[in-house]
């Protein structure tokens, strides 16, 4: 799996959009970008995934650059419950998920 680089931590004010960046410059053509999050002491939770196009669901939006070397997860209106560690993961034809250290997102009241 391609390596990803994320900032170790970020702050965001409650109610504002949280934009979490991820670099994956060695991604190959058949690899997807996944985002998971882990709220303290809970199991990881799937957020969204994409290949080339931007994606949106009820939780977040995923913006992937045209060259696919980076992406941004957007939480449109962050709440205190969005405080968690966010993992950007690149996966190909592989069952297992390789988690990195992720970005610890603090939502500030």
Partner 1 sequence: EPEVTQTPSHQVTQMGQEVILRCVPISNHLYFYWYRQILGQKVEFLVSFYNNEISEKSEIFDDQFSVERPDGSNFTLKIRSTKLEDSAMYFCASSVTGGLNYNEQFFGPGTRLTVL
Give the interface with partner 1 as residue ranges (CB under 8 A).
30-32, 38, 41-46, 49, 51, 91-101
Distance CA(2)–CA(43), nearest Å, equals 23
Q: 45 vs 54, which CB is nearer to partner 1? A: 45
CB of 94 to partner 1, least distance (A): 8
Which residue, 8 or 109, is less far from partner 1 as judged by CB?
Answer: 8
Q: How far is the CB of 35 from partner 1 (least distance, A)?
A: 11
Can you list the alpha helix ranges (DSSP code H) found in 1-109?
A: none
Nearest to 24 by CA among 75, 53, 65, 54: 65
State the nearest-atom distance from the C-beta of 108 to partner 1, in Å: 23
Report the alpha-carbon distance of residue 109 to residue 101 in Å, rounded.
25
Quote the CA–CA distance of 21 and 109 in Å, as a whole number. 22
Instruction: For partner 1, give the closer residue by CB, 67 or 95.
Output: 95
């Amino acid at each position: 799996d391609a390596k990803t680089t994320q900032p170790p931590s970020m702050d965001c004010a409650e109610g504002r959009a949280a934009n979490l960046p991820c670099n994956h410059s060695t991604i190959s053509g058949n690899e997807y970008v996944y985002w998971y999050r882990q709220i303290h002491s809970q199991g990881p939770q799937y957020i969204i995934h994409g290949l080339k196009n931007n994606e949106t669901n009820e939780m977040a939006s995923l913006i992937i650059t045209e060259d696919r070397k980076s992406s941004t997860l957007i939480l449109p209106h962050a709440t205190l419950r969005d405080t968690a560690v966010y993992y950007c993961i690149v996966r190909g034809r592989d069952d297992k998920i390789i988690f990195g250290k992720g970005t610890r997102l603090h939502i500030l009241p």
